[in-house]
């Protein structure tokens, strides 16, 4: 028995960092993929990612539990750059969990898959909100708030630009620094409310096809992220150059570098912009775990 699994990347469109503190955030899938091939094995569990053996105990023990004593070889190839805000770890962990269940011919409920992937994510990110995991598992557009069931919106895919700042960073360190800033600010409540509003308004704009409004909301969100210290001089400079060319851009994910997301998709002199589509099908749907329930 062998299985193939395909998992998209994700981009946070609105609300990163504030989502950790209970605000709404909007995440979508991105048409950049991680692939896993798995087959049963008599020699225990062997996992390889982009040609390198994965030996981490936390990964092996969870996969062993899902496989209920069966052996497996899982080979992962990824187009998703690591440490860039595009959900590479959520996609990797999701692929391992989905491949393991699929090898046993099992299709557990989304909540079970989410719980397993989150167990792996916590080892890497400390106290992740879970937004990355819903982004890659559900795909399309997910309005997410901690403690509430995520709401899936199967709206039109939108073409956007992704720009690599070339800077790489640690999500954990940035979340800690941003959390301290948010918690100690005299404007905590106002910032949390504003971030929530940007996420819900962003969703309405995509739903209505109001692209001018979407652009302004992206610009406003980038300003808010800049205030809490997760932008960089390079990102500020890229965003300013794009803005003078009628394109708005913001951090996607933890910030501190990584990729920035730009809208509308348009050429800007001197900046290498990768054309991509957001709002595509997520991993549950792509791999037959889920039939596509939506809000
Ligand atoms: O791991 P990244 O860069 O995709 O960022 C995750 C989003 C944060 O809001 C910064 C953290 C979280 O757990 O929600």
Nearest atom in ligand 1 to 127's CA: 13
For residue 128, pLDDT over 90 is answered with no
256 CA to centre of ligand 1 in angstroms: 11
Strands 248-251, 259-263: pairing is antiparallel
What is the per-residue pLDDT for 294?
53
Please choose, from the candidates 200, 204, 211, 201, the residue with its C-alpha nearest in 3D space to the C-alpha of residue 264: 211
Would the CB of 116 count as within 6 Å of ligand 1?
no
Does the beta carbon of 175 sit less than 6 angstroms from any atom of ligand 1? Answer: yes
Residue 1, pLDDT score: 85
CA 31 to chain CA centroid, nearest Å: 12
What's the whole-number average pLDDT of the chain?
A: 95
How many whole angstroms from 129 Cα to the centroid of ligand 1?
7
- Tens-place pLDDT, residues 55-92: 999 999 999 999 999 999 999 999 999 988 999 999 99
Strands 71-78 vs 25-41: parallel, antiparallel or unpaired: antiparallel
Q: Report pLDDT for 293.
A: 57
Q: Identify the CATH number of the domain in which residue 2 sits.
A: 3.30.230.120
Per-residue pLDDT, averaged over 222-250, amounts to 97
Of 8, 11, 12, which is best to mutate to test ligand 1, by the most ligand atoms within 8 angstroms of its C-beta? 12
In DSSP notation, 120-155 reads HHHHHHSS--SHHHHHHHHBSEEEE-TTS--EEE--
The rounded distance, in Å, linking the Cα atoms of 144 and 208 is 20
Ligand 1 atom 13: the closest Cα is on which residue?
128
Residue 216 CA to residue 218 CA, distance in Å, equals: 5
Range of the domain at 10: 1-295
What is the domain count for the chain?
1
């Amino acid at each position: 028995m062998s299985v193939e699994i395909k998992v998209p990347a994700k981009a946070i469109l609105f609300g990163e960092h504030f989502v950790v503190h209970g605000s709404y955030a909007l995440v979508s899938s991105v048409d950049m993929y991680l692939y896993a091939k798995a087959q049963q094995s008599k020699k225990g569990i062997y996992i390889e990612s982009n040609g390198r053996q994965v030996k981490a105990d936390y990964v092996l023990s969870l996969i062993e539990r899902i496989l209920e004593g069966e052996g497996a070889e899982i080979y992962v190839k990824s187009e998703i750059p690591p440490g860039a805000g595009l959900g590479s770890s959520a996609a990797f962990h999701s692929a391992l969990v989905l491949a393991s269940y699929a090898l046993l011919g099992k299709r557990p409920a989304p909540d079970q898959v989410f719980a397993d992937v989150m167990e792996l994510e916590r080892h890497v990110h400390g106290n992740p909100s879970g937004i990355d995991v819903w982004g890659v598992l559900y795909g399309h557009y997910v309005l997410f708030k901690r403690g509430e069931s995520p709401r899936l919106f199967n709206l039109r895919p939108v073409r956007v630009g992704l720009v690599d700042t070339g800077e790489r960073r640690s999500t954990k360190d940035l979340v800690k620094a941003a959390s301290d800033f948010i918690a100690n600010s005299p404007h905590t409540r106002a910032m949390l409310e504003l971030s929530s509003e940007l996420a819900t308004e962003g969703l309405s704009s995509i739903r209505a096809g109001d692209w001018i409004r979407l652009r302004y909301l992206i610009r406003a969100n980038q300003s808010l992220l800049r205030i809490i210290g997760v932008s960089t001089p390079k990102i500020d400079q890229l965003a300013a150059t794009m803005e003078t060319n009628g394109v708005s851009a913001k951090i996607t994910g933890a910030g501190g570098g990584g990729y920035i997301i730009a809208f509308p998709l348009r050429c800007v002199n001197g900046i290498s912009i990768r054309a991509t589509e957001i709002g595509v099908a997520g991993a549950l749907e792509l791999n037959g775990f889920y039939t596509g329930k939506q809000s």
